[in-house]
Amino acid sequence: MSGSSPFGRAAETAQSSDMLLRLLRVARGAGVRISVAEAIDAFESANAVGYADRQALKDALTLTIAKTFEDKQIFEQCFETYFKRENTALSGDLASKLPPPPTPSQGEGTEGEAQGMGGEGQGAQSALGQMLMQGDLAGLAAAMERAAEAAGATNITLFTQTNLYARRILDRMGLAELEREITRLRGEGNAELADRLAKARAALGEQARGYMERQLALFSQGTTREIREGALRQVNLSQLDRRDIQRMRQLIRDMAKKIAERYSRKRYRDRRGVLDMRRTMRRNMVFDGVPFRTVWKRERIDKPRVMALCDVSGSVANVARFLLMFLYSLHDVLADLRGYAFSSHLIDVSDILRRESSDDAITKILEAIGFGSTNYGKSLEDFCGMSLKHVNRQTTVIILGDARGNRNEPRVELMGDIFNRAGRVIWLNPEPQPLWGTGDSDMYRYAPFCSQMMTCNTIAQLERVVEELLANAR
């Protein structure tokens, strides 16, 4: 090693840095945010601890790359899967799938035969054919890895590309030559060997596809998810597919986290021109009381107090679920959050939401409230009886519902009471605006008592509402 050290080491570093780059891509795909600066740090720290000790490498990379507890868990998992792939994908699987003759476990007779065959067809057989017949797993693995690299296998993004890439890998491993050889052997009448080679070729093809599937699982995670999430943001919540709910929940959590990050700090607004005497004097004591540095009075921007009234009947239920989920993931940046659910009557669900995980919570709420026909008048009455006294100028009341009260008395005057006490009343209606006021919809009768009315039926709209709520808090 010392003899060829400059080249040897250069090649080694190049290899490990490739490895590291791929690992970073996998981690990014899995959702860990890694900046370029952090990638450079990752290389430096990997060099500092070396590549030999895998545990130390994992620790070092986790320290440099993952900057939250969740990220750390994701990254460690990526690390494990990544290296599992490096180890097993190449030798273990292939061994069991290759056609029998060349494996040593077949006994002495076969061994002799294999040897004889090797000698017999050495000049004639292609490189790939030889490797297959001799069961040179390490050689095959290395060849496949090389071919995959040349074919750009890590660029795979969609599952439909699996076959394409597998084919490219095989081409680069010398498939054409092998096929010519098989035809030639058949022509020469050596059908037995031709059959064995054909079988081996099929096994190899399967291997290559399997390899690409694993690549897909590792490397396309990010892209596939981006496409999917982009679509989910726009999808109509009332027609949401059941299996998307899980994904949607994750999406909402991420969005809430982003918004919370932005608004979690105490915010102040300078009132320039109004001197804060006390703090100015304190600040200038070091100058012998001569006011060199002035301190202005500041206004604190309060966290909004929110009361959310959600219709949980029928088609609105899904939107309600996500609004509540959203608000409760934001509880850090909201001063006081109360959730109410209603259909035929109204109940306070704050406790349920605080305690249960979001899924159980929705089920429990639905159990508690039942599937009665919606009655807005009765629900507003319940709300006023329970909580109107807590509504004040700092409160934002959000009502989510289609305002379809089944021709019950809408009790508009109660809505007026709420409006007069609250800072803001926002009505979110999942129906598109042209449908408002049609049929049994009382939307326009409530309209005078709403500061804002919006259609809200996708996650993107929901996000806009919540952002706006936080930005304009007073």
Partner 1 sequence: MSSTLEQKIPSIEAIEEGLAGQGYISSRQIATALFLAVRLGKPILVEGPAGTGKTELAKATAGFMNLPLIRMQCYEGLDESKALYEWKYGKQLLYTQLLRDKLGEQLREAATLDEALVRLDGVDDMFFSDRFLEPRPLLRALREPIGCVLLVDEVDKADEEFESFLLEILSDYQVSIPELGTQVAKVIPIVLLTSNNTRDLGDAMKRRCLHLHIGYPDARREERIVQTRVPHVQASLLRQLVHYVQNLRTQDLRKLPSVSETIDWARALILLNASQLEPELVHNTLNVLLKFEGDMSSAGKLVGEMTHQALRESSHGMAAK
Q: Which residues bind partner 1 (CB under 8 A)?
A: 35, 37-38, 41, 44-45, 48-49, 55-56, 59-60, 62-64, 66-69, 72, 260-261, 264-266, 286-288
Complex with partner 1: residue 260 or 435, whichever CB lies closer: 260
Q: From the CB of 328, what's the least distance to partner 1, in Å?
A: 17
Complex with partner 1: residue 263 or 383, whichever CB lies closer: 263
The whole-angstrom separation of Cα 380 and Cα 405 is 11
Tokens standing for residue 456: 């809200």
Q: From the CB of 45, what's the least distance to partner 1, in Å?
A: 5
Complex with partner 1: residue 63 or 203, whichever CB lies closer: 63
Complex with partner 1: residue 263 or 449, whichever CB lies closer: 263
Under 8 Å CB-to-CB from 81, ≥6 apart: which residues?
A: 26, 218
Complex with partner 1: residue 64 or 343, whichever CB lies closer: 64
Q: From the CB of 66, what's the least distance to partner 1, in Å?
A: 7
Q: Which helix (H) or strand (E) holds 168?
A: helix 162-173
Complex with partner 1: residue 303 or 411, whichever CB lies closer: 303
Q: From the CB of 16, what's the least distance to partner 1, in Å?
A: 17
Q: From the CB of 47, what's the least distance to partner 1, in Å?
A: 9
Complex with partner 1: residue 21 or 260, whichever CB lies closer: 260
Complex with partner 1: residue 195 or 356, whichever CB lies closer: 356
Q: From the CB of 468, what's the least distance to partner 1, in Å?
A: 21
Is 129 in contact with 181 (CB distance < 8 Å)?
yes
Which three-class secondary structure state does DSSP give residue 14?
helix
The whole-angstrom separation of Cα 392 and Cα 302 is 14
What is the chain's alpha carbon radius of gyration, rounded to the nearest angstrom? 33
DSSP string, 377-445: HHHHHHHHHHHGGG--TTEEEEEES--B-TT----HHHHHHHHHHSSEEEEEESS-GGGTTSTTB-HHH
CA 413 to chain CA mean position, Å: 45
- Alpha helices per DSSP H over 220-315: 221-234, 244-263, 277-283
Q: From the CB of 48, what's the least distance to partner 1, in Å?
A: 4
CA 153 to chain CA mean position, Å: 23
Is 447 in contact with 416 (CB distance < 8 Å)?
no
Q: Which among 214, 181, 172 is positioned nearest to 200, based on CA atoms?
A: 181
The number of beta carbons lying within 10 Å of the beta carbon of residue 202 is: 12
Beta strands 424-429; 395-400: pairing state: parallel
Q: From the CB of 473, what's the least distance to partner 1, in Å?
A: 17
